Structure 1
Amino acid sequence: MTEDLEKESQHLHTEKDESCGMCAKEEVKILEEKVQNLEKERLLIMAEAENRCRRVETSSKDREQFTLSSFAKELLVVADSLQCALSGKESEENSAFYKGIQLTSSLLQNVFEKFGVTRITPLHHVFNPELHQAIKEVPDAQHERGIVIEVLQEGYTLHHRVLRAALVVVSSGKEQ
């Protein structure tokens, strides 16, 4: 681009030349057009640089948020084990043990919340294939078709992205 400008400036007439005034106006017009084109190019380059910065920033945030996903998935097994232990009955003999499991489960849930891991609670909600995985469909007079009536395994999300879908049983409606 600069070479073109240099070539054109070499072709300028001298003041002694009669057609110089006319040529100068044409040259000025051509140079103004080139300046406008260069300004447009500059603005496009700046916009592209800003877009690239935004993409990098978004990518960085996504990487930061979802780097923990494989680690969080492994912790879900621990959460499941604690929930299984809590589903047993508390008695006087195992009261301290039961309370310890409750406390451990509560601490794990707090850590999950801190890092954006959220439990999916589908019971008595409409089946959502993006969040739930139906294991079976059974007739149920109390619920409409497509309502989750039992949760076999809880699901979890990480910053609204599914880590593990909830395993559920869905109502097929009233028996016919």
Structure 2
Amino acid sequence: MLQRLKKKFMSLKQAEGEIVMKYRDRYGYMRQFAGDLVKNDADDVFYFGDGLKPNIARHIVGTGPCTLQEIYERALAQETYELGREEERAAEGSDYDRRRRGKGQRRWDRGTQRGGAPVAPILAVPYAPHPAPTQTYERAPLPPSTRQALPVPPAPRQQELQGGRDKDRGKDGPR
């Protein structure tokens, strides 16, 4: 009898419609029959994580060493997230979804009359420009060390300005 319960513990899996809390309770009950299979926290985490649904377990596998409580909390958070996503997918095509995405709005929401002429929005807020700044910002004077005159670059050579001979190419300048 005990051997059969050990095998049942080793093959314990979360049922398709079962939530993580119920699986944790069932796991805790079956763990008492595990005996020497679960010697430390790492074994506990392994067997608990091994029994989770694949779509939940794949988000928990690479989380590193942790306790059974941490694995349970992560699985519960992932399950809550997935349930929320399922509700959103179930709302596809419903009135809730159309309102959320702006489809199927009433005419006064859309801002047009029957003939397509634009109508002023009912709940429009008048445009208010930003107030002028109350404080003007001026550039601070430069410190005395940087106010000194910078050296003037040398003037270009007269030959360059008149288009003299280009020594690199061996040709005359502009004609």
TM-score with structure 1 length normalisation?
0.26
> Higher relative CO (CA 8 A, sep ≥ 6), structure 1 or 2?
1
TM-score with structure 2 length normalisation?
0.26
More helix by share: 1
